[in-house]
């Protein structure tokens, strides 16, 4: 068999196995060295193929698909710096535990370290941020070698879906010719399984993806902890919000413990089922007196570190309480060192099992304290008559987005404002964000990926710096099946830095931190033929509903003054704290 034919059957076998393993979405970043992979996937017919000119935007789109679907998506790049442009998405996939396959084309071994053009050291490029890094052998016309390649494909998918989920890097050295050449039929006849895969259509090897579960004895040992009278449930961002969010709410309902649900927990928006969801805890837990009054004996925590710094401080404030962390394993999730028990087990199943053993032993006065604080906080927010602010943007979006809709929330201030001002709803909303590394790169592309994987009205709230970082991501608006309405909070720079003490250090602050840019993003929208509206905050609700109904990608810009926004946040936090203090007395 010729070298070109060997390369062709090599790439086709790998693509075939990924399809058998359930991979459906493949993003292509154009290049020459990746030709064998691109042609194999394109000609297979079982994949949703998408193309983007920017590797970084392509990788974040695949990441959005992975987060919304729970299934691995693949990004294919050529060799050289194209592979490095994928790295930010790899880091985010690793830290937020999202399944992602990075298929990089490489020069053949003889050209490595030999000053060959567009050649860098790609072996192990992503370091410890990938669950596995595999340098595939060069294509050969050998049946056992081709069978081994098929197992690599299956192993890659399995590794991405083994707890903790995450990215897997598969590096392919290809020599010329790169264009497809039909394989030798004699080889195919001699090695039918290697060339065509299992005849039953299943993956070449079935890999069991078991999850850690606590034994009945261990669960029985933990159950008495739920007899504590003053307990609370804290749910941070989770990998499987649909499962873990519902299980968290079940435990809250069964125990009577109040639940503090992060916007990315899956427990903030949806049927409460009798759970005691706390409103605006991020605002009133900033007060030390309130923190002291809400002293727990037990904390049950699941998920990553909560978004709310005030909640993090409250956990630290009560470091002596029994603190049970439920985590599926892989990464340590207790940076505050407050845990007294760390359960290495599937969180959804564990919380449900504990709920079945709970006896609603909560002290009603304790539950009432949280209910009173929550009600007072909501009253203070509703009674506020001051100037509208960025928190009102997030409150409006959380209220207007239709049931079942997707909300992709940018890091920095938008996610914090959603935490503080996004009130719980009984209607289900799916909230996503890149909070693994909390970067603002790739926000636009990730939102489009979510919309592609989960067809539903989709809104992305982001700031002007995040939009600037991923303006290439707007090219995804050409895809007909994933419209996104972007709510742009434009405060001409890094608004979050105004919330930090460094804001008092002018003129250095404006030059090096706030970094006003003076850009008019309307021109960016025009390049991509997107709908555009300039709005006042009080007009956002109606405009957002109209934009979602249109079914096309558009940008709704709300302008904000950073200094005014900071002042209003401080005023509202003070008002909320005062109302809560008065109510608790």
**Interacting residues of 501 by C-beta distance below 8 A, sequence separation 6+:** none
Closest CA to 463 of 331, 533, 560: 560
Residue where a domain terminates, one of 348, 381, 414 = 381
In a domain, 10, yes or no: yes
411/325 same-domain check? no
Q: How many residues does the chain have?
A: 585
Q: Residue 514: pLDDT band by 50, 70, 90 thresholds? A: low
41/158 same-domain check? yes
Cα–Cα distance, 372 to 580 (Å, whole number): 8
Q: Residue 201: pLDDT band by 50, 70, 90 thresholds? A: very high
- The whole-number pLDDT of residue 485 equals 98
363/396 same-domain check? no
Q: Is the pLDDT of residue 585 over 90?
A: no
In a domain, 569, yes or no: no
Q: Residue 494: pLDDT band by 50, 70, 90 thresholds? A: low
List pLDDT tens digits, range 1-12: 899 999 999 999
Closest CA to 72 of 47, 52, 39, 54: 47
Q: Are 156 and 133 in contact (CB under 8 A)?
A: no
Residue where a domain terminates, one of 167, 196, 225 = 196
Question: Across the strands, what pairs with 555?
Answer: 486, 532
139/89 same-domain check? yes
- The whole-number pLDDT of residue 215 equals 93
* Portion of the chain with pLDDT greater than 70, in percent: 97
Q: Is the pLDDT of residue 581 over 90?
A: yes
23/111 same-domain check? yes
Q: Is the pLDDT of residue 428 over 90?
A: yes
Residue where a domain terminates, one of 322, 347, 381 = 381
- The whole-number pLDDT of residue 511 equals 63
325/224 same-domain check? yes
Cα–Cα distance, 233 to 267 (Å, whole number): 11
In a domain, 204, yes or no: no
231/375 same-domain check? yes
* Portion of the chain with pLDDT greater than 90, in percent: 89
Segments forming the whole domain that contains residue 359:
217-381
- The whole-number pLDDT of residue 508 equals 65
Taking residue 400's Cβ as centre, other Cβ atoms within 10 Å add up to: 17
In a domain, 136, yes or no: yes
In a domain, 300, yes or no: yes
Cα–Cα distance, 256 to 252 (Å, whole number): 5
In a domain, 564, yes or no: no
- The whole-number pLDDT of residue 474 equals 98
189/288 same-domain check? no
SS3 state at 260? strand
CATH number of the structural domain spanning residue 332:
3.40.50.1220
39/134 same-domain check? yes
Question: Across the strands, what pairs with 458?
Answer: 406
In a domain, 565, yes or no: no
CATH number of the structural domain spanning residue 107:
3.40.50.970
List pLDDT tens digits, range 76-117: 999 999 999 999 999 999 999 999 999 999 999 988 889 888
List pLDDT tens digits, range 149-185: 999 999 999 999 999 999 999 999 999 999 999 998 9
List pLDDT tens digits, range 560-571: 988 899 999 999
Q: What does the block give as tokens for 346?
A: 């599937």
Q: What does the block give as tokens for 104?
A: 């990089």
List pLDDT tens digits, range 381-390: 999 989 999 9
Could you tell me if residue 256 is left (phi over 0), alpha (psi between -120 and 50 degrees) or otherwise beta?
Answer: left
- The whole-number pLDDT of residue 503 equals 60
113/190 same-domain check? yes
In a domain, 234, yes or no: yes
Our count of domains for the chain comes to 3
Mean model confidence pLDDT for the chain: 94
Q: Is the pLDDT of residue 495 over 60?
A: no
Region 399-411: what's the mean pLDDT? 97
Question: Is the N-terminal amide bond of 224 cis, ω within 30° of 0?
Answer: no
E strands within 411-528?
Answer: 430-432, 458-463, 485-490
395/310 same-domain check? no
- The whole-number pLDDT of residue 111 equals 87
């Amino acid at each position: 068999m010729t070298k070109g034919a060997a390369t062709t059957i090599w790439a086709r076998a790998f693509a075939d196995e990924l399809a058998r393993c359930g991979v459906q979405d493949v993003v292509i970043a154009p290049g020459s060295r990746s030709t064998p992979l691109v042609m194999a996937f394109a000609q297979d017919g079982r994949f949703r193929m998408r193309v983007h000119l920017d590797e970084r935007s392509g990788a974040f789109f695949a990441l959005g698909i992975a987060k919304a679907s729970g299934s691995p998506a693949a990004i294919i790049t050529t060799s050289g710096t194209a592979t490095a442009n994928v790295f930010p998405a790899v880091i985010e996939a690793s830290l937020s535990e999202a399944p992602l396959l990075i298929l990089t084309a490489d020069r053949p071994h003889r050209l490595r370290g030999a000053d060959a053009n567009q050649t860098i050291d790609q072996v192990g490029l992503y370091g410890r941020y990938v669950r596995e890094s595999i340098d595939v052998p060069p294509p050969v016309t050998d049946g056992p070698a081709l069978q081994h390649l098929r197992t690599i494909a299956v192993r890659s998918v399995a590794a991405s879906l083994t707890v903790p989920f995450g990215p897997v890097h598969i590096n392919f050295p290809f020599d010329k010719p790169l264009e497809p050449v039909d394989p030798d039929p004699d080889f195919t006849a001699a090695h039918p399984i290697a060339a065509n895969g299992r005849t039953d259509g299943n993956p070449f090897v079935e890999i069991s993806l078991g999850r850690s579960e606590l034994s009945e004895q261990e669960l029985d040992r933990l159950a008495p902890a739920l007899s504590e009278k003053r307990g609370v449930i804290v749910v941070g961002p989770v990998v499987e919000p649909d499962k873990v969010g519902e299980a968290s709410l079940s435990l809250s309902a069964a125990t009577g413990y109040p639940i503090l649900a992060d916007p990315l927990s899956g427990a903030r928006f949806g049927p409460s089922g009798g759970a005691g969801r706390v409103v605006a805890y991020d605002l009133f837990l900033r007060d030390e007196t309130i923190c002291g009054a809400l002293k727990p004996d037990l904390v049950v925590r699941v998920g990553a570190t909560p978004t709310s710094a005030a909640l993090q401080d409250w956990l630290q404030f009560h470091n002596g309480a029994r603190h049970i962390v439920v985590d599926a394993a892989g990464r340590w999730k207790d940076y505050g060192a407050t845990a007294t028990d760390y359960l290495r087990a599937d969180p959804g199943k564990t919380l449900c099992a504990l709920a079945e053993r709970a006896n609603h032993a909560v002290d009603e006065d304790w539950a009432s304290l949280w209910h009173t604080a929550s009600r007072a906080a909501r009253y203070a927010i509703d009674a506020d008559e001051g100037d509208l602010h960025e928190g009102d943007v997030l409150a409006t979006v959380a209220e207007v987005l239709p049931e079942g809709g997707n909300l992709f929330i940018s890091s920095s201030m938008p996610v914090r404002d959603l935490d503080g001002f996004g009130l719980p709803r009984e209607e289900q909303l799916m909230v996503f964000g890149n909070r693994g590394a909390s970067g603002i790169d790739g926000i636009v592309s990730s939102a489009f990926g979510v919309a592609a994987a989960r067809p539903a009205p989709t809104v992305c709230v982001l700031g002007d710096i995040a939009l600037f970082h991923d303006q290439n991501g707007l090219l995804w608006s050409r895809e007909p099946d994933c419209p996104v309405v972007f709510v742009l909070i434009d405060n001409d720079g890094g608004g979050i830095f105004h919330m930090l003490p460094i804001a008092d250090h002018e003129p250095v602050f404006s030059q090096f931190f706030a970094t006003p840019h003076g850009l008019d993003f309307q021109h960016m929208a025009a390049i991509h033929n997107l709908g555009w509206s300039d709005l006042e905050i009080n007009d956002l609700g109606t405009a957002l509903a109209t934009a979602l109904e249109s079914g096309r990608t558009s940008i709704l810009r709300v302008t904000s003054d950073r200094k005014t926004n900071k002042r209003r946040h401080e005023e509202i936090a003070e008002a909320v704290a005062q109302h809560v203090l008065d109510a608790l007395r």
